[in-house]
């Protein structure tokens, strides 16, 4: 476990890496969520259009 | 070459190709980041002055690099979209802005965490790079706010493109003015990242991290542009066929 | 040269016509000119009242406060730059006119500076005196304000053109322009501070003049492009 200790800067280093990981994950999730929303939106819209015809 | 680019720029083609490219970018990016993190955190020798605290640069410098590259991508996309009326370029600009804002935010947070032991304070106005990053974040906010305020997509594309280009002209001036200001500011401690001769064991993980962040950014950008394209082409035939294959028709 | 070409008014005439028109309109509605001025004076007097600084602090922070107040007052007056033209349809006429649009955009910015920047420069000595600035510093401050407000008018015209006709254009305009205006603010305020402490300050004046020239040459084209896009 010793290599995980970064001297007195341990908290700073690990929190930086942690925040980076969190932000990257948020970016990925955000991109996926938007894609899903657009897809389901399109499905509803196109179904409505087809049934009208 | 040109016919390839021309083909890539057609929305259905881009939609198909990007789907196949995104996993590779993610995989390569994660690989580079994994190597950079392990080597940077555990194998790179500790800095003489900063001790282990210097390891923050392995996330701070790549984030700052991407935050500025993203603005360049955005401005170039805006310029191409404005001059050649290429819709895909506008979609790229629209996708790059929120990502750039996130990476700018990341650079600010990690820079602030770095600054805490260095300067004894979370925020130091005397550091030109952090202050420039803050202004960059404001530029991204302005761009996104303008885009969000205009309902018509084509109009939003063009108006925000003008803003992106005006911002691109201003960024070097903003950076220069902040530097001038801080050079007069007493007691400023510049962020020292590496110095002239960086030990190879320190440098290679950093380069790997920068490459990894760039690949991840590319993957995220492609994913966002893909969504943009789908939304913008919502009234076209190919999107209809994509969503509702022939057999499923009502 | 055919006979028809000669009947068109010259470039200078088009520029002067638009400046004169805006000045006349402002003459009929003096509130539009006076309100930003009052705003400027009030913001500048908020600081001594809220922070209760000692005379030394007042002298040290005065330039920064005057500059922030000037930036805010300029932003306040920028909102109406194209708004009335947009509402009564004269913006269509301006865009359709045979005169080059960048030149007319430059005319609008020039009128805006004459109506907001110049009065602000003229009023600023009053505030400087209440901040106990020495007389020779007041001259430096007026020079930086004069150069800076020209840049702000030109830069602001781009923002006003981009946001004209939008519902929430008011706050949006400030959000767009403030980060872009930061170099002007930094150099303007720091130059006056340097002069106040007796340091060499010429570099700041040169920068402000250079920025002003850059804005004069580039900003009208961006304004013209933005006007065309907003008025589609």
CA gap C143, C73 in Å, rounded: 18
Shortest CB distance from B177 goes to which of C175, C178, C182?
C182
CA gap C46, C41 in Å, rounded: 9
Report ipTM for this prediction: 0.88
Q: Domain total for chain B?
A: 1
The answer to whether B82 and B161 have CB atoms below 8 angstroms apart is: yes
List the pLDDT tens digit at each of the 232 positions of chain C.
Answer: 444 455 667 778 888 888 899 898 888 888 888 888 999 999 988 888 888 788 888 888 888 899 999 999 999 888 888 888 888 888 888 888 888 899 999 999 999 999 999 999 999 999 988 888 888 889 999 999 999 999 999 999 999 999 988 876 678 999 999 999 999 999 999 999 889 888 888 989 999 999 999 999 999 999 999 999 988 8
Contact between A16 and B224 using a beta-carbon 8 Å cutoff: no
Distance between A27 CA and the closest CA of chain B, angstroms: 7
pLDDT tens track for B116-165: 877 778 887 777 788 889 999 999 999 999 999 998 999 999 999 999 99
C213 Cβ neighbours under 8 A, 6+ residues apart: none
- Among A8, A31, A33, most B C-beta atoms within 10 A, so best to mutate, is A31
Which secondary-structure segment (H or E) carries C176? Answer: helix C169-196
CA gap B44, B33 in Å, rounded: 15
**Residue C216 sits in which domain range?**
11-230
- Burial bucket for residue B117 (CB in 10 Å: 0-12, 13-18, 19+): middle
**Residue B100 sits in which domain range?**
55-191+200-248
Contact between B117 and A9 using a beta-carbon 8 Å cutoff: yes
Q: Which residues of A4-34 are buried (b: 16+ CB within 10 A; e: fewer)?
A: eebeebeebbbebbebbeebbeebeebbeeb
Residues of C in contact with B176 (CB under 8 A): 183
Residue B7 domain-assigned (yes or no): no
**Chain A adjacent subunits, 3+ CB pairs under 8 A:** B
Contact between B59 and A16 using a beta-carbon 8 Å cutoff: yes
Residue C23 domain-assigned (yes or no): yes
Closest residue, chain B, to A30 (C-alpha): B224
Residue B31 pairs with which residues in a beta bridge? none
Residue B221 domain-assigned (yes or no): yes
Residue B133 pairs with which residues in a beta bridge? none
φ, ψ dihedrals at C89, nearest 5° = 85, 0
Q: Spell out the alpha helix ranges (H) of C8-54.
A: 11-28, 31-51
Q: Domain total for chain C?
A: 1
Residue B218 domain-assigned (yes or no): yes
Max Cα-Cα span within chain B? 73
Query: Which residues of A have a CB under 8 Å from any CB of B?
Result: 3, 6-10, 12-13, 15-17, 19-20, 23-24, 26-28, 30-32, 34-35, 38-39, 42-43, 45-47, 50-51
Contact between C162 and B159 using a beta-carbon 8 Å cutoff: yes
Contact between A13 and B110 using a beta-carbon 8 Å cutoff: no
Task: With CA atoms as reference, report the closest residue to C146 among C181, C180, C121, C171.
Answer: C121
Residue B51 pairs with which residues in a beta bridge? B47
- Side-chain-side CA neighbours of A36 within 13 Å: the count stands at 6
A7 Cβ neighbours under 8 A, 6+ residues apart: B46, B51, B52, B53
Residues of A in contact with B113 (CB under 8 A): 12, 15-16, 19
How many CB atoms neighbour CB B65 within 10 A?
Answer: 17
The answer to whether B172 and C177 have CB atoms below 8 angstroms apart is: no
């Amino acid at each position: 476990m010793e290599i995980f200790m970064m001297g007195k800067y341990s908290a700073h280093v690990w929190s930086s890496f942690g925040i980076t990981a969190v932000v990257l994950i948020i970016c990925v999730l955000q991109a996926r969520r938007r894609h899903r929303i657009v897809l389901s939106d399109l499905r509803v819209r196109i179904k409505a259009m087809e049934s009208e015809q | 070459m040109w016919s390839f680019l021309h083909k890539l720029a057609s929305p259905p083609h881009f939609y198909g190709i990007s789907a196949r490219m995104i996993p590779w970018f993610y995989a390569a990016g994660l690989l580079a980041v994994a190597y950079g993190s392990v080597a940077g955190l555990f194998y790179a020798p500790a800095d003489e002055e900063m001790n282990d605290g210097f390891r923050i640069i392995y996330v701070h410098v790549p984030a700052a690099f991407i935050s500025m590259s993203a603005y360049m991508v955005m401005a170039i996309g805006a310029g191409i979209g404005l001059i050649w009326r290429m819709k895909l370029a506008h979609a790229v600009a629209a996708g790059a802005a929120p990502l750039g804002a996130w990476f700018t935010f990341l650079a600010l947070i990690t820079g602030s965490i770095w600054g805490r032991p260095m300067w004894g304070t979370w925020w130091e106005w005397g550091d030109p790079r952090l202050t420039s990053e803050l202004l960059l974040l404001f530029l991204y906010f302005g761009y996104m706010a303008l885009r969000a305020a205009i309902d018509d997509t084509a109009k939003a594309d063009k108006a925000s493109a003008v803003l992106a280009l005006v911002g691109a002209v201003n960024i070097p001036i903003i950076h220069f003015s902040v530097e001038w200001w801080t050079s007069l500011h007493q007691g400023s401690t510049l962020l020292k990242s590496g110095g002239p001769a960086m030990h190879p064991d320190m440098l290679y993980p950093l380069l790997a991290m920068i490459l990894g962040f760039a690949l991840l950014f590319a993957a995220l950008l492609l994913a966002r542009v893909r969504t943009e394209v789908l939304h913008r082409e919502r009234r076209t035939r190919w999107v209809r066929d994509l969503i509702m294959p022939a057999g499923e028709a009502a | 040269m055919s006979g028809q070409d000669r009947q068109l008014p010259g470039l200078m005439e088009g520029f002067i016509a638009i400046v004169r028109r805006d000045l006349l309109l402002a003459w009929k509605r003096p509130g539009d000119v006076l309100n930003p001025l009052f705003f400027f004076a009030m913001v500048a007097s908020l600081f001594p009242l809220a922070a209760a600084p000692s005379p030394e602090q007042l002298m040290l922070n005065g330039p920064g406060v005057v500059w922030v107040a000037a930036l805010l007052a300029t932003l306040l007056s920028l909102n109406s730059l194209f708004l009335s033209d947009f509402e009564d349809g004269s913006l269509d006429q301006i865009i359709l006119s045979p005169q080059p649009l960048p030149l007319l955009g430059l005319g609008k910015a020039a009128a805006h500076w004459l109506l907001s920047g110049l009065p602000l420069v003229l009023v600023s000595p009053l505030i400087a005196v209440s901040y106990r600035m020495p007389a020779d510093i007041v001259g430096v401050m007026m020079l930086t304000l004069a150069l800076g407000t020209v840049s702000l008018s030109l830069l602001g015209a781009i923002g006003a053109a981009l946001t004209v006709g939008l519902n929430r254009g008011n706050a949006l305009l400030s959000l767009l322009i403030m980060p872009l205006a930061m170099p002007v603010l930094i150099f303007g305020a720091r130059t006056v501070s340097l002069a106040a402490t007796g340091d060499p300050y010429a570099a700041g004046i040169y920068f402000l003049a250079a920025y002003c020239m850059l804005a004069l040459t580039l900003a009208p084209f961006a304004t013209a492009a933005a006007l065309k896009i907003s008025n589609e």
